[in-house]
Amino acid sequence: MTDSRTIELAKALIEKESVTPDDAQCQELMSGILKPLGFNIEMMQFEDVLNMWARKGTEKPHVCFAGHTDVVPTGPEENWTYPPFEPTIVDGMLYGRGSADMKGSVAAFLTATERFIAKHPDHKGSISYLITSDEEGPSINGTVKVVEALEARNEKIDMCIVGEPSSTTECGDVIKNGRRGSLGAVMTVKGIQGHVAYPHLAKNPIHMVSPALAEMSAEVWDHGNDFFPATSFQISNINGGTGATNVIPGEVEIVFNFRFSTELTQEILKERTHAIMDKYGFEYKIDWKLSGHPFLTDEGSLVDATVEAIKHVTNIDTELSTAGGTSDGRFIAPTGAQVVELGPINATIHQVNEHVSAKDLEILSEIYERTLENLLLD
User: Are 292 and 326 within 8 A, CB to CB?
Assistant: yes
Which of the residues are catalytic? 70, 135
CA 18, 22, 28 angle in degrees (round to 5)? 75
CA-wise closest residue to 326 among 185, 228, 182, 229: 182
DSSP state of 167: B
181 membership: H or E segment, kind and range: strand 181-190
Burial of residue 272, with CB atoms counted within 10 A of its CB: 0-12 exposed, 13-18 middle, 19 or more buried: middle
Between the CA atoms of 180, 182, 183 and 184, what dihedral angle is there, to the nearest 10 degrees?
A: 150
Is residue 269 a contact partner of residue 260, using CB atoms and an 8 Å limit? yes
Measure the CA–CA gap between 185 and 235, rounded to whole angstroms: 10
Amino acid type, 34: L
What letter would DSSP give residue 4?
P
SS3 258: strand
DSSP letter string, 132-161:
ES-TTTT-SSSHHHHHHHHHHTT---SEEE
Q: Give me the sheet containing 93-95, strands edge to edge.
A: 88-90, 93-95, 355-357
- 48-85 b/e (C-beta count within 10 Å ≥ 16 → b): ebbbbbbbbbeeebbbbbbbbbbbbebeeeeebeeebb
Task: Count CB atoms within 10 A of the CB of residue 255.
Answer: 15
Distance CA 349, CA 116 (A): 29
CA distance 284 to 246: 24
Degrees, nearest 5: CA angle 23-26-30: 140
